[in-house]
Amino acid sequence: MPPPYSHIKVVREEDFRSRIGEDGHYFDLIDFSAIEGFNVPPTMTILRFKEKLTEKFGTPLQCQRLWWWARRQNNTYRVDRPLTTEEENLPVLNTNSLPTWSNMDDALVFLKHYDPGKAQLRYVGLLSVKVASRPSEILPKLRSLAGFCLSETIELYEEIKFEPSVWCEAIDIHNTFSAGEIITGDIICFQKILKPPDIPKYPSVASFLQHVCDQKTYEEVRKVHILEEEIVTLKHQADTYLVQKEKAVTAYDQLKHERDNAVQQVNELRDQSTHIILDFSRKDMEQATEHFKNAREIGDTEYGHTYKGMIHNMKVLIKLSSSQKLFQQEVSILSQWRHPNIITFIGVCSEVSALVYEWLPNGNLEDRIICTNNSAPLSWYNRTQIIGEICCALLFLHSNKSTALVHGDLRPCNILIDANYRSKICNFGMSNLFLQLGTFPPNLTARLPYMDPEFNTTEELTTLSDVYSLGVIILRLLTGMPPLTLSEKVAEALGSDSLHLLIDKSAGDWPYIEAKQLALIGLSCTGMTRKKRPDLLNEVWIVIEPLTRKPPAATWPYLQSASGDSSVPAAFICPISMEIMKDPQVASDGFTYEAEAIRSPMTNLALPNLNLVPNRVLRSFIHGYLQQQQPNPAYQQQLSET
């Protein structure tokens, strides 16, 4: 362990320049709080310490004379005795055991001059006197230091102590220093004697020191009073905070209770029927959007104004339709269609033609492609999944030939992204309201790159029109480039074998084979005529589906199946048979079941109808999952059956 160090403070003569005035700041000789100290080991000698002082202050050894300070019985620190040459080899920390100074004939006193007119007391120097001499003998020296005339009379005082009370006595200049008990380290204050009418408020050193002491006491009392007032204020603030905290906790508990009830009601409604549409009042809409506050508005399109709202402490998306006809058309469509990749429709407010949807926090696909507000770019895996999800949603919309629904305005801005980067289509089935014969759709510049070229001649939208839009979106996700003339650029890159130069590097290390497959199918979808475009199910999905088969590890919640395996994703389990689904089908209640289970008497669900739509995305995930489990014979058998 390193040796313990002691802290020693060294006072030089220039440190004695104390001054006491109206500010009340005062000390006997030295303001020790402003003096620099030295860390000294116990073995350091006085001589070595003097060498350190030479290094610090530049004072040569031969010019140094050290004096030892001591604490007196009245708690003042004064100079006690000098350190002799013979004592320089002693350790610095052992000077407490030094013998009493043998020189009793001389005394080193400190001089302070008091100016009554300025009410100022200041140090002017130190003086070595013979204790057998009289103070009258040093008057010429004092007149010289203060600049007094010979005719001016001087009076002397000994300043004995200042705190906690003043002790200042007049000195008889005709007695010897020894008779007046003046010793080394004492302070002698001198001033000229004033005559009326020049007598100031504090005519003597003693009266001035008493005034300063009183001022100091008053300041301390005032500070104590201020601190007491601050304590009272802080206590009041603390009490107020506790009351506010209790109110906040009560309000939080109430809001949490309301939210839990609302969530429970929503879940119960979903369990009863996915086709129940909640009916909201105008007041509900105004409260949800703070009276349609501008800060709540997040979009303004030809479909209407969209707002971020709060209903029962749950975030929702609220759209004010731009026309009553639009409102009725969308309600009619959304009440009939439900799919995992179509935005969930919650309710309506007929008073203001408002539609309420689920809130999707990651905005629309357009903003994610161009990284609006410096958002992180989508990874190549997320982009592949989004392409598969859009394709699956279109297959769902196009699946029923008698009531096939054409989106007609499939663009990245009409595809929303949820918290898990899953995509959901919105604003579908609305375009036919804009496409009046002989008129141009609104916002044509933004729509044109995604619009079926044959629409210009036929003025008709078909399912192949959606295929064209899908192709442009595939190429955009692949390259990150603007849509205008994008297909020509990709075709040229494929022809010159330079596709790798177009692929969006911000998506990460996109597997080149998969990227080329997407480029080819995207180009195929953007054929100028509908005859040249591929069939969505038999030609497009057959390419895209294998690319979406490998979900990242641990992205599904796990559930134990009836077979006893505890690592099967919950989404793969049929809620009726509790087995891994072989042929997942979306029923009319919006949930996915095994085809055989939903057709068998095993279910007691009262479904509106028995129309089933294949859930091809989920089936591909299950297929990929079962392939990974091939070492397990039970899974090999199930895989062969699928």
Closest CA to 450 of 510, 390, 375, 501: 390
In the sheet that 304-311 helps form, which strands lie side by side, from edge to edge? 278-279, 345-349, 354-358, 314-321, 304-311, 297-301
For the record, the structure tokens of 356 come out as 């309420």
Residue 344: how many other CB atoms lie within 10 Å = 19
Residue 53, C-beta contacts closer than 8 angstroms, at least 6 positions apart: 10, 59, 64
- Helix (H) / strand (E) element for 541: namely helix 541-547
Long-range Cβ contacts of 283-288 (<8 Å, 24+ apart): 284/311, 284/349, 285/309, 285/318, 285/349, 285/351, 285/352, 285/354, 288/316, 288/318
**Distance of alpha carbon 480 from alpha carbon 505, whole angstroms:** 9
Q: Which residue has the tokens 């008889």?
A: 172
What's the CA dihedral at 258, 264, 265, 268 to 10 degrees? 180
Six-digit token string for 148: 């007094």
Best CA proximity match to 285, nearest among 246, 319, 249: 319
- Residue 586 and residue 616: Cα distance in Å, rounded? 10
**Shortest CA distance to 413 belongs to which of 449, 464, 454?**
449
Token pair for residue 469? 């839009």
Nearest 5°: phi and psi at 230?
-65, -40
- DSSP strand pairing (6-9 vs 37-40): antiparallel
Please tell me the distance from the alpha carbon of residue 527 to that of residue 477, in angstroms, as a whole number. Answer: 18
**Chain Cα centroid distance, residue 85:** 65
Q: Encoding tokens for residue 585? A: 């089908």
Buried b (16+ CB within 10 A) or exposed e, 534-544: bebeeebbebb
Q: Which residues of 424-446 are buried (b: 16+ CB within 10 A; e: fewer)?
A: bbbbbbbbebbbeeeeebeeeeb
Count Cβ atoms within 10 A of the Cβ of residue 368 and give its class: 0-12 exposed, 13-18 middle, 19 or more buried.
buried
Separation between Cα atoms, residue 635 and residue 642, nearest integer Å = 10
409 catalytic per annotation = yes
- State the DSSP code for 362: T
Task: List the catalytic residue out of 409, 452, 466, 589.
Answer: 409
Under a CB-based contact definition with an 8 Å cutoff, are residues 168 and 159 in contact?
Answer: yes
Give, as one character, the DSSP assignment of residue 4.
Answer: P
Q: Which residues are catalytic?
A: 409
